[in-house]
C-alpha cells in the first residue's frame, strides 16, 4: 500500500493546511483491514519517497494499492511538461476535448471504446481512424481514411483488436499538413518554425502514416513555410500550448480543413529529440537553429521556471 499519511508530512515540517488532503492513520487501517478480509496480505509502504528506496533494493509486489500523490515528490527541477499535461496529451480524445473547450479548431470526432460504439458514430465521411494513445504514426495506414460505414466498422474492429485501446475517429482533413515547433513556457513560448509535410509520389497517399515516417528519407519532403497559412498554424499551436500549460519545448501537428483553416490534430509536449530524424530538431535545422541552441532554449526555459 502506498499513501500520503498526514502525520508523516507533519513530522517533515509541513503545516496543517499543507497536509489537509492527506490521509489519517484510521483511513489506512480501514483499507488494510478490508484488503486482509479479502484474502490479501497488505504491506504498508507509505509515501513515494519511502517507496523508491525499497524498489531500488529489489523489492516487488503483485499489486500496489495506491492512494498516494506526488510524482514530483522529490522537488527536483526537470525539463518539459508535468505529468498531468503529458498524460492528457497521450489520450487524443481527452486532449481534443480541451482543444474544443478553448474554442480552437480541431476536427469533429468520436471515441470508439468498444465494437458497440461503432454504430453510434454520427460524423460526415470521409473519416479518419487511429489508436487513441499511440505515436510515431502507429496504427495509421492508407486504410485509416474511411469512405463509408463498412470501412469504419472494419477498421475500428481491427484497431481495437490490435492495440487494445479505444479508437479516435475524426473527420478527415484534406489540406496541407504542418508541424509547428515550439520552445518556452507560457507567455515566453515562441514558435521556432513551421514545417510542411509533403508526401512523395511513392508514399502511402494522403496520410502521414507509420510507414511514411519510418522511411521518411525516401518518402517524405519537409519544407519550412512562412506564408499566411503557416503563421495561422503557429498562432493556433501557441494558443493550445499556452492553454494546456505545456512547458519548455515540443510540437503541435496541424492539418488544413476543406476551408483551408489549420486544425489541431495532435499535441506533442514531449517530442523526439534525435538530432537528425526527429521533427522538432528538423524544424530547427530548416530554420537555421543549431541543435545545441535548441537544447539551450529548452534548458533555459526549465531553469527560468525553477528559479521562479
What count of other Cβ atoms lies within 10 Å of the Cβ of residue 203? 20
Tell me if residue 103 falls in helix, strand or coil: coil
Residue 74: the pLDDT is 76
Residue 117: the pLDDT is 98
Q: What is the distance between the alpha carbons of residues 292 and 42, in angstroms, rounded to a whole number? A: 49
Q: What is the distance between the alpha carbons of residues 140 and 134, in angstroms, rounded to a whole number? A: 10
| Residue 287 near residue 192, CB atoms below 8 Å | yes
Rounded to the nearest 5°, which phi and psi values hold at 24? -90, 160
- The three three-digit cell numbers of residue 294, written as one number: 535548441
**Cis amide prior to 126 (ω within 30 degrees):** yes
Residue 68: the pLDDT is 83
| Residue 174 near residue 258, CB atoms below 8 Å | yes
Domains identified in the chain and CATH numbers? 2-67 (no CATH), 83-105+173-306 (3.30.470.20), 109-171 (3.30.1490)
Q: What is the distance between the alpha carbons of residues 155 and 118, in angstroms, rounded to a whole number? A: 10
- The three three-digit cell numbers of residue 269, written as one number: 509536449
Tens digit of each residue's pLDDT, the chain (308 residues):
999 999 988 999 999 898 888 899 999 999 999 999 999 999 999 988 889 999 999 999 998 888 887 777 778 889 999 999 999 999 999 999 999 999 999 999 999 999 999 999 999 999 999 999 998 899 999 999 999 999 999 999 999 999 999 999 999 999 999 999 999 999 999 999 999 999 999 999 999 999 999 899 999 999 999 999 999 999 999 999 999 999 999 999 999 999 999 999 999 999 999 998 899 999 999 999 999 999 999 999 999 998 88
| Residue 128 near residue 145, CB atoms below 8 Å | yes
Residue 76: the pLDDT is 80
Helices within the chain (DSSP H only): 6-11, 25-37, 48-56, 83-90, 92-101, 149-163, 210-214, 216-219, 228-244, 279-286, 291-306
Q: What is the distance between the alpha carbons of residues 167 and 114, in angstroms, rounded to a whole number? A: 9
Q: What is the pTM of this model?
A: 0.89
As a dihedral over the C-alpha atoms of residue 172, residue 198, residue 158, residue 148, rounded to 10 degrees, the angle is: 30
Amino acid at each position: 500500500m502506498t499513501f500520503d499519511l498526514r502525520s508523516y508530512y507533519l513530522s517533515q515540517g509541513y503545516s496543517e493546511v499543507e497536509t489537509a488532503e492527506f490521509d489519517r492513520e484510521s483511513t489506512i487501517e480501514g483499507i488494510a483491514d478490508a484488503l486482509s478480509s479479502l484474502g490479501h496480505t497488505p504491506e504498508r509502504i507509505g509515501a513515494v519517497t519511502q517507496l523508491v528506496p525499497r524498489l531500488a533494493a529489489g523489492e516487488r509486489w503483485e499489486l500496489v494499492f495506491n492512494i498516494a500523490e506526488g510524482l514530483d515528490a522529490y522537488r527536483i527541477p526537470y525539463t518539459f511538461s508535468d505529468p498531468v499535461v503529458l498524460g492528457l496529451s497521450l489520450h487524443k480524445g481527452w486532449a481534443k476535448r480541451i482543444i474544443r473547450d478553448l474554442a480552437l479548431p480541431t476536427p469533429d470526432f468520436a471515441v470508439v471504446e468498444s465494437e458497440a460504439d461503432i454504430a453510434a458514430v454520427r460524423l460526415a465521411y470521409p473519416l479518419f481512424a487511429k489508436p487513441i494513445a499511440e505515436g510515431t504514426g502507429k496504427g495509421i495506414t492508407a486504410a485509416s481514411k474511411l469512405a463509408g460505414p463498412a470501412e469504419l466498422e472494419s477498421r475500428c474492429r481491427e484497431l481495437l483488436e490490435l492495440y487494445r485501446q479505444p479508437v479516435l475517429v475524426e473527420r478527415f482533413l484534406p489540406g496541407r499538413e504542418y508541424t509547428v515547433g515550439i520552445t518556452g513556457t507560457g507567455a515566453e513560448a515562441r514558435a521556432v518554425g513551421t514545417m510542411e509535410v509533403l508526401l512523395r509520389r511513392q508514399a502511402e497517399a494522403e496520410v502521414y502514416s507509420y510507414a511514411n515516417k519510418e522511411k521518411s528519407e525516401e518518402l517524405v519532403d519537409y519544407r519550412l513555410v512562412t506564408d499566411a497559412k503557416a503563421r495561422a498554424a503557429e498562432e493556433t499551436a501557441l494558443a493550445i500550448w499556452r492553454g494546456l500549460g505545456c512547458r519548455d519545448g515540443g510540437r503541435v501537428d496541424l492539418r488544413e480543413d476543406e476551408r483551408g483553416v489549420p486544425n489541431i490534430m495532435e499535441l506533442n509536449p514531449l517530442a523526439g529529440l534525435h538530432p537528425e530524424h526527429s521533427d522538432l530538431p528538423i524544424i530547427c535545422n530548416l530554420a537555421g537553429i543549431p541543435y545545441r541552441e535548441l537544447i539551450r532554449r529548452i534548458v533555459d526555459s526549465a531553469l527560468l521556471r525553477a528559479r521562479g
